[in-house]
Amino acid sequence: MTTDVLILCTHNSARSVLAEAMLNHLAARLGKDVRAHSAGSAPGGRINPFALEALVNAGIDTGGLRSKSWDEFSGEGAPPLSLVITVCDSAAAETCPVFTGRAGAQPIRVHWGYPDPSNAEGGDEGRRRAFELTRQAIGYRMLQLLALPLETIGSDGLRAALAAIGRS
């Protein structure tokens, strides 16, 4: 059974896209049945070029990535979500739509905040460095997520494990 994970950030142009690509890449490499999606409450309509550059430089496929609204994941035909992860503070504070999980249950929600690499100082080189460091930090947490026994851990154990990952 596939574990569907939705990663949210307001504009769905940087951090959430990095997380979607990293989780899908790592899950495929590790043979895990996990599928990541990303979305935003106010999608910008384009992915930050520095996010794409960081992914390409790390050898991660960027085909199919796009900036999209979280509305795609709250309506009929949306995948049954197991987890919803917010990666920016503004999305964490917003009132999210109701997302449906398996058997109509609500997915587990967690906040793993990262500073916005788009705001890094030092011109383009500073932003490149910030995007790469953010990609690495996200990748580390995604590896921790993939190390969990997602099919057997139970919702209380998963909540606690995800909170611990967020504090790491």
Which amino acid makes up residue 89? D
Bridge partners of 84, per DSSP, are: 6, 109
Taking the model in full, what pTM does it have? Answer: 0.93
pLDDT digits (tens, 9 = 90+) for 38-51: 999 889 899 999 99
pLDDT digits (tens, 9 = 90+) for 136-163: 999 999 999 999 999 899 999 999 999 9
pLDDT digits (tens, 9 = 90+) for 100-134: 666 567 899 999 999 999 999 999 999 999 999 99
Any idea what the CATH number is for the domain that residue 144 is in? 3.40.50.2300
Catalytic-role residue among 47, 88, 91, 145: 88
How is the beta sheet containing 108-111 ordered, strand by strand?
34-39, 3-8, 81-86, 108-111
pLDDT at residue 74 is higher than 90: no
Specify the 3-state DSSP secondary structure of 29.
Answer: helix
Range of the domain at 112: 3-167
| The two structure tokens encoding residue 6 | 């939705």
Catalytic-role residue among 35, 72, 79, 96: 96
Please state the domain count of the chain.
Answer: 1
Which amino acid makes up residue 73? F
* Strand pairing report for 34-39 and 108-111: unpaired
